[in-house]
Chains A and B, each alone.
Chain A
Amino acid sequence: MSEIYQQLSTIIIAGDDENAPGLVQKALDEGLPPIEILDNGLLVGMNEVSARFEQEEMFVPEVLLAAKAMHDGLEILRPHLVETGAKPVGKIVLGTVKGDIHDIGKNLVGMMCEGAGFEVINLGFDVDPEKFVEAVKEHQPDIVGMSAMLTTTMIAMGYTIKALKEAGLRDTVKVIIGGSPVDAEIVDRIGADGYAYNSPTAVELVKNLVGMT
């Protein structure tokens, strides 16, 4: 039974998006439980990708492909997961802050969190504080994640937190930040709840924040 799970994780690591959906379908056709296909197959692969990325052994292009394979596989799997009653483990609103267009890292975080079972609402880039506020009102997420790549745009993270406070929403969500100019001291300075150094640690952080680990 483990052979197909092994194949699934290998296909994710290889970023083989053409074959990922077919293999997920094959696993379903064989009657394997959807949650096991996710946990023992796709996620094992994605966790390995995360580890290699963190070790700087895999780079953005390979990780993008792996995330795409994961995403395409999940598309096939998701209806079956829903059918069997598996719920998203949490909801995340993500965006690159106002004035900044760097969004590769943020998108990777989104794809990896999706892979870990979260529902991800990606607001894109150059997202102003008001748009974050509206998204929190609309989607009522557990977590808001903001990204900025430069010391000059990092300031917009603070403005967004301020806007959430003014809208009375700050206490309804955990706010996490990421990007080059961010560390624990910045978290304290702007009043966020946590930061992640890269996308794998971001996944660990959100799992922690929703009490998964």
Chain B
Amino acid sequence: MGQTEFTLRPKLMLMLLIPLALVFFPTTAVVTTGMIPTLVALVIDGSPRRYLTITVGGFNLVGCSYFLHLLWEMPQGLSSVMLVLGSSYGWLYALLGAGCGWLLFLGMPPVIRSIASAQAKIRLFRLNREMERMVEDWGPEVTSRADAPTVAKK
């Protein structure tokens, strides 16, 4: 997986987002602060595709929705920001969301492993049944290698 190049499109996105973030500064400040667990995950996430970051981030963002709900019901200003960030319930939801994301990330492999095992059994059963049918139809010679000479049935 090659490193993603910082090309025109991300630059364009930044050029659009930075003014937007400045316009909606209170929201930006609350989200940025509430997403600190995600930043922590980003720091420790070594995978190229940042799956841990995305997982934690998604749930962290949902958790931050309480902060946003409070903020958007108040007048937009720095005083509202401080007030919203002082909500212990907000931090509880934000951290709980991040924790859920972390737990999901850690708990998903055993689930997937179980599913894969079941899938392997089903596929083996289906393949064996198909091969038995092929032997019935074409005879045991069908089991020989394709580059081996054909042996007529007696």
Query: Do A and B interact with each other, yes or no?
Result: no
Residues of A within 8 A of B (CB): none
